[in-house]
Amino acid sequence: MSQSRSTAEDVARRAGVAQSTVSRVFSNSSRISEATRQKVLQAARELAYRPNNFARSLVTKQSLLVGIVMERISTAFSPYVLEKLTLKLQESGYNVLLFNVSQALSADDLLPSALDYQVDALITTSSVVSPEMADVYAKFKTPLILFNRRINNQTVNTVSADDYHGGKMAAEAMIKAGVKRAAFISGPENTSTTQDRGQGFFEGWELQDFARPRQIVGDYSYQSGFDVACQLWDDDSTLDGIFAVSDLMAVGAIDALRHKLGLRVPEDVQVIGFDDIPGAARLAYQLTTIRIDVDLMVNKTVELLQRCLTDKTKEVEQIVTPVTYVERKSLVVKI
C-alpha cells in the first residue's frame, strides 16, 4: 500500500463537495445530479483516486472475495478448474483469494486464515477437510463448498461428479471389452474420489460374479501411474486391463506399458481412465475414459455460491453431475 494514495476526502475537497457525495458517486447507489457527478469524477480522475476496498468492506460487511483452497494446483485438471472458477467468479463480480495446500500448510490451517480476509465464501478442492472446519465456517456463517469432494458424516455443500456410477461404468466397459484380469490404480485411500469410484468399480465386477480386481495405490500423478504399472506387471504379467482413477495416471500407465514393458495398448492391455482431461484425446494416447463435466460442475458451483450468498439461511445442497463413457482406442467394447 502506498502512503500517498488519495482518498474520498481529497476528491471531495477538490470537487468542492462532501466526502459522502464522493462515496455516493462511486457506489452509485443514490440520486446524484449529473452536474456534481461529473465534477466528482473529474476530480477523481485528476487525483487518480480509487476507492479502498478494505475500508468499504469494513462498512458493508461484504468483501466480494471468494477463497479457493486447492492442493496440487498444477496436477491433472486442477488448473482447468481453477481457471474456469476464477473466470466465472470474476464475471459475477467476485475476486479470488487463492490458497495452496502444501505439506507445511494443510487445508485446516488455510481455511481459518481465509476467514481473516473476510471471504464471502470458500470453495475447496482439497481432499482433506476436517468436519470441524465445516463447523467453523458454519459458525462464521460463511458458505463452504466442496468441489469434487465429499466429506464424511457431515452436511456440507458439495458439487461432485457421479463418481460411484462412473466407477461402475468403467467396470462394465472393461467386462464388455473382454478384460479378464484387471487392476485398479487408485489414489490415496482417504480421498473421496478414490473411495467412490473404487466402490462403483468393484461393485460393477461383483455384479457379474467376476473376481475382485487387484488395487494398487498411486497419488494421481503421471509418474505414479507409470511406476505403479511397472510394479503391477512385475508381480503378475498376465494382467490384461487397467482402470485408473485418473486420466493422468492412466496415461502414465500406458507409457509404462508401451515404452517400458514392451506391451501393446489396447491389443495386450486395455486401459480406461477417469476425468477426460485434455490430453486424454491426444492421438498418442486415445484414452477411453469416464468424462466428468467440469464446465457444468463449475457453473453449478458458482450458481450454488450465489444462492448461498443471497439466502444465508439456505440449507445445504449436495449436487451430483452426470458422467459419460467416452470410448476411444485404449479400450473398446465388443458388442
Binding site for DNA (CB under 7 A): 5, 7-9, 16-21, 23-24, 26-27, 29-33, 35-37, 49-52, 55-56, 58-60
Q: Is 104 a binder of a copy of itself (CB under 8 A)? A: yes
Q: CA–CA distance from 57 to each of 53, 140, 163 (Å)?
A: 6, 16, 39
- Distance spanning both ends of the chain, measured CA to CA: 66
- Residue 15 main-chain phi, psi, to 5 deg: -90, -5
Angle at 248 between CA 205 and CA 277, to 5 degrees: 95
Sign of CA dihedral 117, 118, 121, 122: positive
CB of 36 to a copy of itself, least distance (A): 23
CB nearer to DNA: give 50 or 212: 50
Round to whole Å and give the CA distance between 56 and 61. Answer: 8
Binding part of the chain for a copy of itself, among 154-162, 188-196, 206-214, 280-288 by CB under 8 A, reads 280-288
CB of 95 to a copy of itself, least distance (A): 6
CB nearer to a copy of itself: give 109 or 327: 109
Taking alpha carbons only, the member of 233, 183, 176 closest to residue 208 is 176
CB of 94 to DNA, least distance (A): 16
CB of 191 to a copy of itself, least distance (A): 19
- Residue 249 main-chain phi, psi, to 5 deg: -70, -35
Choose, by CB under 8 A, the member of 4, 33, 237, 238 that binds a copy of itself. Answer: 4
Burial class, 30, CB count within 10 angstroms (exposed 0-12 / middle 13-18 / buried 19+): exposed
Q: What does 87 interact with, of a copy of itself, DNA, none (CB < 5 to 8 A by kind)? A: a copy of itself
Q: Is 112 a binder of a copy of itself (CB under 8 A)? A: yes
Amino acid residing at 210: F
CB nearer to DNA: give 9 or 203: 9
Round to whole Å and give the CA distance between 147 and 128. Answer: 12
CB nearer to a copy of itself: give 16 or 278: 278
In the block, cell 463452504 appears at 144
Choose, by CB under 8 A, the member of 27, 52, 155, 324 that binds a copy of itself. Answer: 52
Taking alpha carbons only, the member of 217, 219, 210, 220 closest to residue 240 is 210
C-alpha cell at 262: 514392451
CB of 47 to DNA, least distance (A): 10
Q: Is 80 a binder of a copy of itself (CB under 8 A)? A: yes
Q: Is 325 a binder of a copy of itself (CB under 8 A)? A: no
Residues 186 and 282: beta-carbon distance below 8 Å:
no
Angle at 14 between CA 8 and CA 17, to 5 degrees: 70
Angle at 173 between CA 277 and CA 293, to 5 degrees: 30
Q: Is 231 a binder of a copy of itself (CB under 8 A)? A: no
Choose, by CB under 8 A, the member of 18, 207, 211, 284 that binds a copy of itself. Answer: 284
Total residues at the site for a copy of itself (CB under 8 A)?
A: 65
Q: Is 124 a binder of a copy of itself (CB under 8 A)? A: no
Taking alpha carbons only, the member of 220, 216, 170, 211 closest to residue 193 is 220
CB of 104 to a copy of itself, least distance (A): 7
Binding part of the chain for a copy of itself, among 7-15, 30-38, 115-123, 264-272 by CB under 8 A, reads 115-123
Q: What does 231 interact with, of a copy of itself, DNA, none (CB < 5 to 8 A by kind)? A: none
CB nearer to a copy of itself: give 212 or 260: 260
Q: What does 26 interact with, of DNA, a copy of itself, none (CB < 5 to 8 A by kind)? A: DNA
